[in-house]
Amino acid sequence: MKMVSVFLVALFLIGFWDQTNGGRPIHRHLSSNGLGKTPQMGWNSWNHFGCNIDENIIRGTADAMVSTGLSKVGYEYVNIDDCWGELNRDAQGNLVAKASTFPSGMKALVDYVHSKGLKLGIYSDAGYYTCSKTMPGSLGYEEQDAKTFASWGIDYLKYDNCFNNGTNPQERYPKMSEALSNAGCPIFYSMCEWGDQNPATWGPKIANSWRTTGDIQDNWDSITSRADQNDQWAAYAGPGGWNDPDMLEVGNGNMSTVEYRSHFSIWALMKAPLLIGCDIRSATSETLEILSNSEVINVNQDPLGVQGKKVSQQGDLEVWAGPLSNNRVAVILWNRSTSQDAITANWGAIGLPSDAIVQARDLWAHSYLPSDLQGSLTSTVDSHDVKMYILTLSSG
Ligand SMILES: *[C@@H]1O[C@H](CO)[C@@H](O)[C@H](O)[C@H]1NC(C)=O
Ligand SMILES: *[C@@H]1O[C@H](CO)[C@@H](O)[C@H](O)[C@H]1NC(C)=O
Ligand SMILES: *[C@@H]1O[C@H](CO)[C@@H](O)[C@H](O)[C@H]1NC(C)=O
């Protein structure tokens, strides 16, 4: 293994972070919903279960969210994805929970999940059907469906993009935003427009998060490509609205523990929603250890809310970093390689103060590096693994 050399103080460069936030004013119609001050955390049924869901799975997941301790470290939304409803609306045109799989109805499920101290999310589509085509979409029924969700006590809506017949997302998505605002109680609005029309540029006005990519899959290429696609929109994320490179695959079985650790670390640094996508009722201790790393979660939930970015790259060896509150910096050294290349971030070239001294906390080893650092941090990183640190300026 070669060394990844990173010249840390680079990260304190003031002008550098100006590019990420730019003082860009965000005028949200939805700001009154008060949600998404930090990226949403929870679980969603799709990545593991697809259409094979029922109310027992949802209840059992809520139970497991509490019993595993995941709720204690911040996971709160239990989100039902596609396939929860009947194909046809009722005589009044209302959406109806599928009797065969959700016989107790959505109101009872909301009450159950709320009784656990958690929140319930639901799914619809800005088209004529949802993606499974087993239930109607909400296009043309935005006000009515938003009121239905509110009447059930729903806390969160994921709004998909299938069967839209080519109508403009910038017309379809604001309609549901307005409808949710009018529905009478705050509902988190998660736009799932797949990044088609650069939703980062118009989503912040109407939504709490917006997908920047197509659907994720449980493999390395999918993770790395989604990270890169999401990275280009970093400047548009901030408290109240977040870029969404899709839900987590951690624990679904097709990647190694090391790869899942990379996936989780980069998602946390990118201020991505942390929505668990495995079956947490049967999650292994390795999976729970990744998902429960509160030092990494704290980076994601930091109140400053600036999305970390890829700041340097040499071949497949990359440095990702972003500022945190209290003048701290989060850094990830990411080895995406199977080759022997080494990474060098030249600090002179990025104009760093040569005298800055930092303390580095390793967020996966849960320990401080033995001595303060000046000028650079050097570490080995295994293939497809990360090292993740928080750097704090030493007082001396
Ligand atoms: C990255 O991983 C590859 C494959 O294990 C290894 O050959 C290489 O030395 C690693 N690079 C660094 C900088 O640690
Ligand atoms: C959407 O397009 C399909 C295929 O052209 C058509 O059959 C359907 O009627 C359209 N739906 C609406 C609501 O316009
Ligand atoms: C599992 O990983 C392999 C190797 O990366 C990949 O070819 C395959 O498509 C993955 N399966 C899924 C379901 O993503």
The catalytic site residues sit at: 160, 215
Report the alpha-carbon distance of residue 93 to residue 96 in Å, rounded: 9
Q: Counting ligands in written order, which one lies closest to the CA of residue 166?
A: 2
Claim to verify: residue 279 and residue 386 sit in the same structural domain: no
Residue 126's φ and ψ, nearest 5 degrees, are -85, 55
Q: What are phi and psi of 114, to 5 degrees?
A: -60, -35
pLDDT of residue 314: 82
Atom of ligand 2 nearest to the CA of 163: 1
Give the tens place of pLDDT for each residue, 269-320. 999 999 999 999 999 999 999 999 999 999 999 999 999 999 888 888 899 9
Asked if 344 and 241 sit in the same domain, the reply is no
Q: What is the CATH number of the domain that holds 360?
A: 2.60.40.1180
Kindly state whether residue 384 falls inside one of the protein's structural domains: yes
pLDDT digits 0-9 by tens, 330-372:
999 899 987 544 444 333 322 336 677 888 899 999 999 998 8
Q: Is residue 18 part of a domain?
A: no
CATH number at residue 158: 3.20.20.70
Whether 372 and 240 map to the same domain: the answer is: no
- Locate the ligand 3 atom nearest the alpha carbon of residue 222 and give its number: 14
Structure confidence by residue, pLDDT tens digits, 216-246 = 999 999 999 999 999 999 999 999 999 999 9
Q: Which residue, among 107, 182, 119, has the nearest Cα to 152 in the 3D structure?
A: 107
Rounded Cα–Cα distance for residues 78 and 235 (Å): 29
| 287 and 358 together in one domain | no
| 395: Cα separation from own chain's centroid | 34
Question: Do residue 245 and residue 369 come from a single domain?
Answer: no
Q: What is the reported pTM?
A: 0.91
pLDDT given at position 100:
98
Place of tokens 């001595």: 371
Query: From the CA of 51, how far away is ligand 2's center (Å)?
Result: 24
Q: Tell whether 257 and 378 lie within a shared domain.
A: no
Cβ of 78 below 6 Å from ligand 1: no
pLDDT at 3 over 90: no
- Say how many domains are in the chain: 2
Q: Is 342 in the pocket of ligand 1 (CB under 6 A)?
A: yes
Give pLDDT, residue 48.
98
Q: At CA 283, angle to CA 281 and CA 286, rounded to 5?
A: 160
191 vs 199: CA distance, rounded Å: 9
Q: Is the CB of 333 under 6 A from ligand 1?
A: no
DSSP string covering 266-283: HHHHTT--EEE-S-GGG-
Which H or E run contains 96?
Answer: none
Which residues neighbour 248 within 8 Å (Cβ) at sequence distance 6 or greater?
47, 263, 264, 267, 274, 275, 276, 277, 278, 291
Picking from 274, 301, 328, the residue at the C-terminal end of a domain is 301
Domain that holds residue 170: 41-301
Domain end point (choices 235, 266, 301)? 301
Both 91 and 200 in one domain: the answer is yes
With respect to residue 10, please indicate whether it lies within any of the assigned structural domains: no
Q: What is the phi/psi pair of residue 374, to 5°?
A: -125, 120
Q: Are residues 207 and 322 in the same domain?
A: no
- Give the pairing type, strands 357-362 and 367-368: antiparallel
Residue whose CA lies nearest to ligand 2 atom number 5? 165
Does 162 share its domain with 197? yes
In this structure, are 279 and 334 located in the same domain?
A: no
Residues 361 and 259 in one domain: no
Q: Ligand 2 pocket by C-beta < 6 Å: which residues?
A: 128, 165
Atom 9 of ligand 1 has which residue's CA nearest to it?
1
Going by alpha carbons, the residue nearest to atom 1 of ligand 2 is 165
